[in-house]
Amino acid sequence: MLYAVAIFAPLFGSAVAGLFGKAIGDRAAQAVTITCMVLASICGVSAFIQLVYQGAPTGVLPIATWVQAGPFHATWALRYDALSAVMVAMVTTVATLIHIYSIGYMAHDENHTIWRFFSYLSLFSFAMLMLVSADNLLQLFFGWEGVGLASYLLIGYWYYRPSAGAAAMKAFIVNRIGDLGFALGIALVFLQFGSIEFGTVFGAVQAHMDATYHVLGHTWRAYEVIGILLFIGAMGKSAQIGLHVWLPDAMEGPTPVSALIHAATMVTAGVFLMARFSPVLDYAPGALGFVTFIGATTALFAATVGCAQNDIKRVIAYSTCSQLGYMFVAAGVGAYQASIFHLLTHAFFKALLFLTAGSVIHAMSDEQDMRRMGGLWRMIPFTYAMMWVGNLALGGVFPFAGYFSKDAILEAAWAAHTAIGQYGFWCTLVAAFLTAFYSWRLLIMTFHGAPRADRQVMAHVHESPKVMLGPLLLLAIGATFAGMVFRNQLIGADWQAFWGNSIRIAADNHVLRDMESLPLWVSLSPSVFGLLGIGTAYLFYMVSPGIPGRLAAMFPAAYRFLLNKWYFDELYDLAVVRPYRALARLLWQVGDVTLIDGVPNGLAALTEEGAAGAVRLQTGSIAVYAFAMLIGLVLLVSIFLLFLR
């Protein structure tokens, strides 16, 4: 019962605020949605404690029959196991804190529809909860599309801004590309197993080990095809390289939206999907190699781009993209438990970083460019301290949460003892250096040095209200202690007892075991590289702040390459957007205007001319009509006599 309340309470709050928000007002809508979220978080955490620490039985809570079409059937049911319980507890807790923070952040919203904003936030939370508690792929896909819809509504919340509308459309369209692969994966799962219910599919994994598909003229193992298609869906939702282009533009939405998307909901869906399908993926080494390659490449790519961005939210957005790459590296080498562990800790410190950035933006009269900040640490000291905590966790500094979870991923990549694992290790190790560098670059540019904003802006700098600072403090506690509290249960000696059957791996998967016997330098290297990144940022932006400018002048092409995000947007514009627009214009001008509209319009014009001529024959004179009849009669008789001869 607690579990069901945790999942459906946000839906109730969203419905009340969305349907009756105008009538009850903003304050009442906020009260309803936040009350429902607090109730959901209490129930979600309680259900997690009961399952993991009090030995409550796992199972499936059926709600209703959803689809029944011949051999295809799908029930509406809630899956209650360790993986779902962890995700439900995390989503409800972080989403509740973001709801509370939004009271202060949206207090002066120029849109004047705060009830709608809170309704969307709760809808977003419900969709993610439905995704992580699904007992079959169709229900999971419902939640998957639900978070896509909610992200579209929230990114474009300020719909009167052209940039917000374009960003919302971009997120929606790019995710549809990935979702096509996911939908095909669901179809192949049903064709292979005759069901999309997780219990049935995972119970029959051994029976279909040798199954194959014939695709693109080649024969492939079924599990490899399924794994790659499902991962294509994950690439879209979790913003991996190639389908990542929507994520930075999503910063057009209010900052609480950015925190919810990046920390607790949408982008974590792909990582969850990989962990949920671990019983199948563990027998698809080719698909896992692809996952590792994309994840490692994304981690490195996004970290390089983050070093050159100047918008405070975009730096953190690329950080999310990079950290998701870490999670996929862990899943790709078979350490699904480590990927979920980092997902859990990342939720706390990334929500903290985004909301801290929101506090800075709030203090700076909506300024987001770090080049127009500086000198803030004495003026907003609490926000400054919270940014320190978030950065220490993100940088993997002991004893903060990221130290335990991010280091575990690098150790898992090395412990895989594969070539692709080595690629993942070195990419993420370099990314660890860059992560620490851009994190402290952000900290120093924002809070230190001489103020670079206008005097009028600096005169109004103030600390955020308590309703915004309270959630920051609670998230900081999670960012500090979540790693050390959950490490042993999630990836340590107790991991099998903790996860049960929610994450199942092949008998020859010994990555977690081999992580305990690594060379010392492997274990120390993430911390060493992180500290080097912090030191480099301190040198560049505190000791000798002229160095970055000189480097940009010395290597202008490299600087522009990073500043323009590897030119992915420009490449897609050249290869996809412009040809598509040209084709659309051709079909419009030739196909629509000339053919579809032109032909009937031309025929209508001919008919119009003929009708006009016929009208001129109608004079209204009886004598003319009688004469015409006489002429016709003469012609008729003449023809008749001619043919009788």
pLDDT digits (tens, 9 = 90+) for 490-549: 998 889 889 988 999 998 999 999 998 899 999 999 999 999 999 999 999 999 999 999
Cα-based distances in Å from 63 to 79, 84, 194: 11, 17, 22
Q: What is the pLDDT of residue 144?
A: 96
Cα-based distances in Å from 367 to 171, 221, 242, 289: 24, 53, 30, 42
Q: What is the pLDDT of residue 345?
A: 96
Q: What is the pLDDT of residue 610?
A: 65
Q: What is the pLDDT of residue 164?
A: 92
Cβ-in-10-Å burial (0-12, 13-18, 19+) of 608 comes to exposed
Q: What is the pLDDT of residue 471?
A: 96
For residues 292-318, give the mean pLDDT: 96
Which of 463, 436, 300, 322 minimizes the C-alpha distance to 381? Answer: 463
Strand pairing of 72-80 and 59-69? Answer: antiparallel
Match 């192949």 to its residue by tokens. Answer: 188
d(CA 23, CA 358): 30
| Helices and strands in the chain: count of H runs, count of E runs | 29, 4
Which of 184, 236, 176, 186 minimizes the C-alpha distance to 215? Answer: 184
* Backbone CA torsion sign across 280, 62, 181, 412: negative
Tell me which H or E stretch contains 219. strand 218-221
d(CA 443, CA 437): 10
d(CA 256, CA 157): 12
d(CA 347, CA 324): 11
Judged by DSSP in three states, 369 sits in strand
Higher pLDDT, 163 or 637: 163
d(CA 530, CA 516): 21
Q: What is the pLDDT of residue 644?
A: 64
**pLDDT grade, residue 615 (50/70/90)?**
low
The DSSP string of 250-286 is: GGGS-HHHHHIIIIISGGGHHHHHHHHTHHHHTT-HH
Asked if pLDDT for residue 603 goes beyond 80, the answer is no
Q: What is the pLDDT of residue 107?
A: 87
Tell me which H or E stretch contains 586. helix 578-586
| Distance spanning both ends of the chain, measured CA to CA | 103
Beta partners for 218? 215
Separation of CA 569 from chain center: 18
Angle between helices 82-105 and 466-490 (to 10 degrees): 170
Which of 110, 405, 207, 435 minimizes the C-alpha distance to 299? Answer: 435
Beta partners for 213? 220
Higher pLDDT, 137 or 219: 137
Amino acid occupying residue 233: G
Residue pLDDT, tens place only, 383-404: 999 999 999 999 999 999 999 9
Residue pLDDT, tens place only, 146-158: 999 999 999 999 8
Tell me which H or E stretch contains 63. strand 59-69
Query: In degrees rounded to 5, what are phi and psi of residue 445?
Result: -65, -35
**pLDDT grade, residue 78 (50/70/90)?**
very high
pTM of the model: 0.91
For residues 617-636, give the mean pLDDT: 77
395 and 534 in contact (C-beta within 8 Å)? Answer: yes
For residues 466-479, give the mean pLDDT: 96
Compute how many other C-beta atoms are within 10 angstroms of the C-beta atom of residue 90: 28
19 and 128 in contact (C-beta within 8 Å)? Answer: no
Q: Which residues contact 538 (CB under 8 A, 6 or more apart)?
A: 440, 444
Asked if pLDDT for residue 551 goes beyond 70, the answer is yes
Strand pairing of 72-80 and 212-215? Answer: unpaired
174 and 236 in contact (C-beta within 8 Å)? Answer: yes
d(CA 536, CA 209): 50
Alpha-helical segments (H) within 137-218: 137-155, 162-193, 198-203
Percent of the chain scored above 90 by pLDDT? Answer: 76
486 and 405 in contact (C-beta within 8 Å)? Answer: no
391 and 315 in contact (C-beta within 8 Å)? Answer: no
Q: What is the pLDDT of residue 357?
A: 95
Match 């000791």 to its residue by tokens. Answer: 543
Match 């973001």 to its residue by tokens. Answer: 98
Which of 320, 237, 323 minimizes the C-alpha distance to 272? Answer: 237
Alpha-helical segments (H) within 491-519: 495-499, 511-514
146 and 286 in contact (C-beta within 8 Å)? Answer: no
Residue pLDDT, tens place only, 338-383: 999 999 999 999 999 999 999 999 999 889 999 999 999 999 999 9
527 and 398 in contact (C-beta within 8 Å)? Answer: yes
Asked if pLDDT for residue 612 goes beyond 70, the answer is no
**pLDDT grade, residue 79 (50/70/90)?**
very high
Q: What is the pLDDT of residue 609?
A: 63
- Whether the bond between 285 and the residue before it is cis, its omega within 30 degrees of 0, is no
Asked if pLDDT for residue 42 goes beyond 90, the answer is yes
Cβ-in-10-Å burial (0-12, 13-18, 19+) of 321 comes to buried
271 and 343 in contact (C-beta within 8 Å)? Answer: yes
**pLDDT grade, residue 614 (50/70/90)?**
low
Which of 124, 400, 473, 434 minimizes the C-alpha distance to 268? Answer: 124
Half-sphere exposure of 542 (CA within 13 A, CB side): 16
Q: What is the pLDDT of residue 486?
A: 93
Q: What is the pLDDT of residue 422?
A: 97
Higher pLDDT, 385 or 608: 385
d(CA 538, CA 442): 11
Q: Which residues contact 601 (CB under 8 A, 6 or more apart)?
A: none
Percent of the chain scored above 70 by pLDDT? Answer: 97
Asked if pLDDT for residue 639 goes beyond 90, the answer is no
Interior angle at CA 264, CA 259 and CA 270, nearest 5: 120
User: How many residues in total does the chain contain?
Assistant: 645
Asked if pLDDT for residue 611 goes beyond 70, the answer is no
Angle between helices 114-132 and 137-155 (to 10 degrees): 160
Angle between helices 312-332 and 419-447 (to 10 degrees): 160
What is the residue-averaged pLDDT of the chain? 92
Amino acid occupying residue 363: A
239 and 320 in contact (C-beta within 8 Å)? Answer: yes
Range with the lowest mean pLDDT among 78-92, 238-252, 592-606? 592-606
Q: What is the pLDDT of residue 642?
A: 75
Strand pairing of 218-221 and 212-215? Answer: antiparallel
Residue pLDDT, tens place only, 262-290: 887 889 999 999 999 999 999 999 999 99
